[in-house]
A and B are shown apart, each in its own frame.
Chain A
Amino acid sequence: MSDLELSVMAGDTDRAKPLLGRWLWNAVLPAALVALLLGFAAFDHGVLSPANLLNIAQQTSYLALFAMAQTVVILTRGFDLALGPTVSMVSVGTALAMAGATATGHDTSLVLFAGLGAGFGLGIACGLFNGVVIALLGVNPFVATLGSYNIAIGIATTLSSGRPVQGVPKLFSQIFYGGSIFGVPAAIAITVAIGIALHLVLSRTVFGRSLYIIGTNPRAAAVAGLPVKRILVATYVLCSALAALGAIMMTARTGSGEPNLGGALSLQAIAGAVVGGTSLAGGRGGVGTAVLGALFITILSNGMNLTRIDGYVQMVVLGAIVIVGVLLDRLRMERSQ
C-alpha cells in the first residue's frame, strides 16, 4: 500500500532511475518517522503505549484531513490561507444552527441535519468564493484567500460574539467524536474513509488527473481543452468542504462552536502537506504525502510534549523541520531527475 502511495506521490519523473536509489529516497520520511518514535520511546516508555499510539492516530486524523484539503489546492499551484478561519466559521455556524434548532423544539435528527447543513453550506460557500475570485477574476490565490481569511474570521467572531457557542446536542458529539466503527474511533474512521475516497478521485478520475495537469502546466491544460476555470472552482469547493468536515469533527470533540478553533490551522495544514512532499510548484503530491506529513508533525509534537520539551522550543523545532523537510524533498527530486 505505502509503496504504491509513494510511487504515486513521486510522480512519473523517477521511473527511469534505478529502483534502489528511488526507494531509498522515498523511504527517508517513513524512516524518520520510525526513528522519531523510537527516539522518543527511549526517553519515555509511554510513547509506544497502545493508549498513546491511539491518541497519536486520533490527533493525526484531524490534521491529516486538513492537510489533504490543502493538498488538493496546492496540486493546482494554489493555496488556501483561509482554511483555518473557514474551520472556525463552520464550527460556529454548525453549533448555532443546532442550538437554534434545539431551541425551537425540533427533534434530534432534524437538529443534526440542520447543523451539518449549516456547516457544509458555509464551507461550500467559502470555497465557491475562493474559487470564483481565483479562477474567474484571476486574483492570485494568496491574496484571494488572505481576503477570505479576514472575511471568515470576521463572520466567525461576529456570529459568536467572540465566545464559544453552547447548545451542541450530546448525540452530535457521541456520533462524530465518541462513536466508533468496528472499534475504530469515529475521527480515525472518517479520515481513513475520506483518504481512500480522495486517493481514488485523485488517481482514477478525470477530475483528479486534471488537477495534476493544471499544476504541472496550466497553459498545456487549457490548450488540451480542459475546462480549467470550472475545475479550479470545484477544487476550492472540495478543499473547503473537507475543511468543513474537519471542523464538524473538531466541534464534536470540544462540544461547542469555537470562534478560535481554526487559529494556526491554515499554516499547519500547509506545513503538513509540504513536509510530506507536496510541491508548492504544483502537480506533485497526494493523499499519501498529506497523511505522512500530518503524522510526522503530530508524532513530533506528541513526543516533545511527553518528553516535556518547552512549548516555545517546540515552535523553533517545528519551524526548522518544515524547512529541512522541504529541502530534503527538493534534493530527492534533483536526484531523480
Chain B
Amino acid sequence: MSTALITAGPQNSIGLRSIAGRIGLLPALLVLLVAGMSAVDPQFYGIINILNILRNASLLAIVASGQALVIVAGGFDLSVGAVVALASVVTAKTMATTAAAFPGNTALIIASGVAAGLGCGIVVGLVNGFCVAKLKVSGFVVTLGTMSATAGVGLMITNGIPVYGMPDIFVKGFGRAQAFGLPTAVHVALIVILVMVFAQRRTLFGRYVYAIGGNVDAAVVSGVSIQRHIVGTYVVSSVLAALVGILLTAQVGSGQASFGGDRMMLQSIAAAVIGGVSLRGGVGRVEIVAISALFLTILGNALNLLHVDSRLQPVFLGVIMVAAVALDELSRRRNARV
C-alpha cells in the first residue's frame, strides 16, 4: 500500500488526500490550537487549566457521543440538555429522600440516586424512541416536545432551587476525586468512548445503526429490525445525558435544574457535526466526535484566556461550525465529480 503510494507519482497526492480525508482536518486544527495557545499564554498549559479543560471536554464528549449515535441513525436528539438537568435533580432528590429514610446506609443511598438518575434517562429515551419508531413522528418534533416536557418536570420538582443532601462521599469521593491524576469525569468519558467505539465497529447494533442511517429501505430489506434499533439509539443518547447529569451533580454537590440546557444540546450537535457526523445519516465515528468535543472546549478556553469578550464568543463557534461543514461538503462534491 505505502510502496504503491511512493512509486506512483500522481496517485501520491490522491493517497495523501484520502488519508487526510479519513482522519480529517480536526486533529491538525487541534494541534495548531494547542501549540499556538501554549506559545501565547503559559497559563494555558498550567495543570489546573488542563484538568479543567479535560473535565469539561469529557462531559461534552459523553453527551455528544450519544447524540452522534442518534444522528448516524438519521435522527436528532434535542432533549439531551433537558435530560442532564432532570437526571441531576432526580439523583439529588432521591439521595436526599433515601438518606432521610435510611440514614447512614451510604451504599444504598448512592445506588438509589444513581439508579433513579439513569432511570430518568431510560424513560425519556424510551418515550423518544417510541414516538419516533412506532408513531413515526419526526425525531426533531418529538425531542423538541420531550425537551420542553423534561425541562418542565425538572423545574417542577425543584421550583428552580438547588437540591442538597447528598452523602459526602458521593461528592468528595466520586465527583471531585482524582485517580491517576485525572478527574473522575475523564475516566468515565474514556470508558464511554471506548465502549461506544467498540459498539459502533464490532457489534450488530452498531453496524445496523449505520445501515439504518445509510439507507432505511435497504436495511428493511436486509431484515434489520428498524424500530428496535432506533429506540436503542435514543435510549443510549438519553442514558449518556443522564450520566453527565449525575457526574455534574457529584462534582458541584447539588442537583440543579439549570444544568445542561439548550447550551449543552446545541454544543453536542455542534461537536457531532464538526466531528464529521453527517446529518444525512449513516456516517460518523464516536472517537472523532470526542476529539471534536475536546477541540470545542479548548477553543472556548482559549478565547477566555485571550480575553475575547464572552459575548462575542458564540460568533466564533458559529463561524467554525458552518466553515467545517461547508469545507466537508465542498470536498465531498469534488470527490464525487472525480
Contact = CB atoms under 8 A, between A and B. Distances in A.
Contacts of A144: 322, 325
A316 B326 contact: no
Nearest to B152: A315
Interface residues of B, number: 45
A148 B136 CA distance: 30
A133 B148 CA distance: 29
B149 interface: yes
A214 interface: no
Interface string A262-278: 00000100110010000
Interface string B142-183: 101111111111011001000000000000000000000000
B317 interface: yes
Contacts of B141: 274, 280, 322-323, 326
B74 to A, nearest CB: 12
Contact of B314 (A143, A150, A315): A150
Contacts of A315: 148-149, 151-152, 155
Contact of B135 (A142, A151, A274, A327): A327
A315 B270 CA distance: 25
Given A137-B329, A322-B144, A146 B137 contact: no
B82 to A, nearest CB: 9
Contact of A138 (B136, B140, B329): B329
B315 A150 contact: yes
Contacts of B330: 137-138
Interface residues of A, number: 42
A318 interface: yes
B156 A316 contact: yes
A114 interface: no
A143 B325 contact: yes
Contacts of A142: 76, 269, 279
A162 B142 CA distance: 33
B104 interface: no
Contact of B322 (A133, A314, A321): A133
Most chain A beta-carbon contacts within 10 A, residue among B146, B149, B151, B330:
B149
B240 interface: no
A281 B136 CA distance: 12
Nearest to A133: B322
A280 B131 contact: no
A158 B311 contact: yes
Contact of A319 (B152, B269, B316, B326): B152
27 contacts: A133-B322, A137-B329, A140-B279, A143-B273, A143-B321, A147-B319, A148-B318, A148-B322, A149-B318, A150-B315, A150-B321, A151-B319, A158-B309, A158-B315, A162-B311, A280-B138, A313-B152, A316-B152, A316-B153, A319-B146, A320-B145, A320-B149, A321-B145, A323-B131, A323-B142, A323-B145, A326-B142
**3 cross-chain pairs, A with B, having the tightest CB-CB distances, nearest first:** A315-B152, A150-B318, A319-B149
Given A154-B318, A280-B141, A321-B145, 8 more contacts: A133-B326, A140-B279, A143-B279, A280-B140, A319-B146, A319-B149, A326-B138, A327-B137
